[in-house]
């Protein structure tokens, strides 16, 4: 990573995710304006970031090549949105997951931003077409969904609106790489994006297996933590297929029938309530 960069980044909303983004951009050498509606919240956020950066510096876990003090000096607080966005190259919205609130904020931003700044949203599950449709600057808008905690988990899902310019996607991708994140591009929006769709597929089958009494809640978690998850911590499911046989074509030849047979036995979507919820909760609540 390079030292201090040209260009300023704005974070809108200085909660859990906003603070993480501020630290990530500062680690990449970018000046960061951390905006929130209340000064008290901004002050608290800056204090929290200062403490965390110092701690990360002491334990050798700090990202980037700049010292903790230098990174902290790149981040400043702000409660004036117009001043915050002036001259910015990128904005990351991190306000609460509420469609009406986010639409209002992007509507405000639409009136004051230049034609160059990219407007990213951290939303976990709101679709770009819900957030950005009708905005004058829709070409510059994109969902950039991080995974909690973003400082330690590098994946960022980039999800365009149908009218997002390809250059917006490419510039956001390059920026994420520059700050050490691991961006992935979805070519079109889909509910749950990619990560949550995979996560929910796993959760559903876990739920059915425990609900049907096939396996205990603890053992189900071991299947993942001491089995499947160990593979997937290093390589994805498709590369695993390729390496688990003599290549992908050979894997499909060998396992196609078996996979389809097993998949046909999957049950309906669980309701995540009732008896199975009680059963799983009884075990899991002891772990808090
Ligand atoms: P949070 O509740 O910790 O922070 C939200 C911040 O937004 C607060 O500081 C609040 O004062 C501020 N805010 C409220 N109204 C505002 C306004 N009009 N203008 C500017 N700031 C305003 O929320 P959190 O957890 O940081 O989530 C932010 C976004 O990130 C959400 O969309 C969430 O879905 C997404 N996200 C959250 C993850 C998580 O695990 N917490 C993971 C990935 C994405």
Write out residues with Cβ below 6 Å of ligand 1. Answer: 12-18, 36-37, 41, 94-97, 105, 122-124, 145-146, 148
pLDDT of residue 25: 98
Nearest CA to ligand 1 atom 28: 94
Q: What is the pLDDT of residue 2?
A: 53
Q: CB-based contacts of 120: which residues, under 8 Å, 6+ apart? A: 90, 91, 92, 93, 141, 142, 143, 144, 172
241 CA to centre of ligand 1 in angstroms: 37
- Point out the ligand 1 atom lying closest to the alpha carbon of residue 104: 18
Tokens of 158: 């980039």
Cis ω on the peptide bond leading into residue 149 (within 30° of 0)? Answer: yes
Q: Whose CA is nearest to atom 9 of ligand 1?
A: 15
Which of 121, 130, 217, 213 minimizes the C-alpha distance to 172? 121
> What Å distances lie between residue 175 and 4, 17, 168, 186, 210, CA to CA?
14, 18, 11, 16, 42
Work out the end-to-end distance of the chain between its first and last CA atoms, rounded to an integer number of angstroms: 38
Compute, in angstroms, the gap from residue 124 CA to the centroid of ligand 1.
10
What domains are defined for the chain? 8-185 (3.40.50.720), 195-287 (1.10.1040.10)
Using CA of residue 117, residue 122, residue 127, residue 130, what is the dihedral sign? negative
Rounded CA-CA distance 259/8 in Å is 49
Dihedral over Cα of 30, 175, 40, 114: its sign: positive
Give the pLDDT confidence score for residue 209 in this predicted structure: 98
| Ligand 1 atom showing the smallest separation from residue 45 Cα | 9
What pLDDT is stored for residue 6 in this prediction?
86
- pLDDT means per 10 residues, the chain with 288 residues, are 81 98 98 97 98 97 97 97 96 98 98 97 97 98 97 97 98 98 97 97 98 97 96 95 97 98 97 96 89
Cα(7)–Cα(258) distance, integer angstroms: 53
Please give the ipTM for the structure prediction: 0.99
Summarised one tens digit per residue, pLDDT across range 6-44 is 889 999 999 999 999 999 999 999 999 999 999 999 999
**Half-sphere exposure (Cβ direction) of 26: Cα atoms closer than 13 Å:** 27
Place of tokens 């003090």: 69
Nearest one of 31, 156, 10 to 94, comparing CA atoms: 10
91 Cα: distance to centroid of ligand 1 (angstroms): 14
């Amino acid at each position: 990573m390079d030292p201090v960069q040209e260009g300023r980044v704005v974070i809108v909303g200085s909660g859990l995710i906003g603070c993480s983004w501020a630290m990530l951009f500062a680690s990449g050498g970018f000046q960061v304006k951390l905006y929130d509606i209340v000064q008290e919240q901004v002050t608290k956020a800056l204090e929290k970031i200062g403490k965390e950066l110092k701690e990360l510096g002491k334990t050798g876990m700090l990202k980037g090549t700049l010292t903790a003090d230098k990174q902290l000096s790149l981040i400043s607080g702000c409660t004036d949105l117009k001043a915050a966005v002036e001259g910015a190259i990128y904005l990351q919205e991190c306000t609460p997951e509420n469609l009406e609130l986010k639409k209002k904020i992007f509507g405000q931003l639409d009136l004051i931003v230049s034609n160059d700044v990219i407007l990213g949203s951290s939303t976990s599950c709101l679709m770009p077409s819900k957030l950005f449709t009708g905005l004058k600057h829709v070409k510059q808008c994109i969902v950039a969904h991080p995974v909690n905690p973003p400082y330690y988990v590098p994946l960022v899902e980039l999800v365009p609106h149908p009218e997002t310019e390809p250059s917006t996607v490419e510039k956001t991708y390059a920026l994420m790489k520059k700050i050490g994140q691991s961006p992935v591009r979805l070519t079109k929006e889909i509910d749950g994006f990619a990560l949550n769709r995979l996560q929910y597929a796993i959760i559903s089958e876990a739920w059915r297996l425990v609900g049907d009494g096939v396996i205990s809640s603890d053992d189900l978690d071991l299947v993942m933590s001491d089995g499947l998850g160990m593979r997937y911590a290093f390589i994805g499911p498709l590369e695993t297929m390729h390496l688990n046989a003599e290549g992908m074509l050979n894997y499909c030849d060998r396992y196609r029938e078996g996979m389809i047979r097993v998949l046909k036995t999957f049950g309906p979507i669980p309701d995540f309530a009732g008896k199975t919820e009680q059963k799983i909760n009884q075990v899991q609540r002891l772990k808090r």
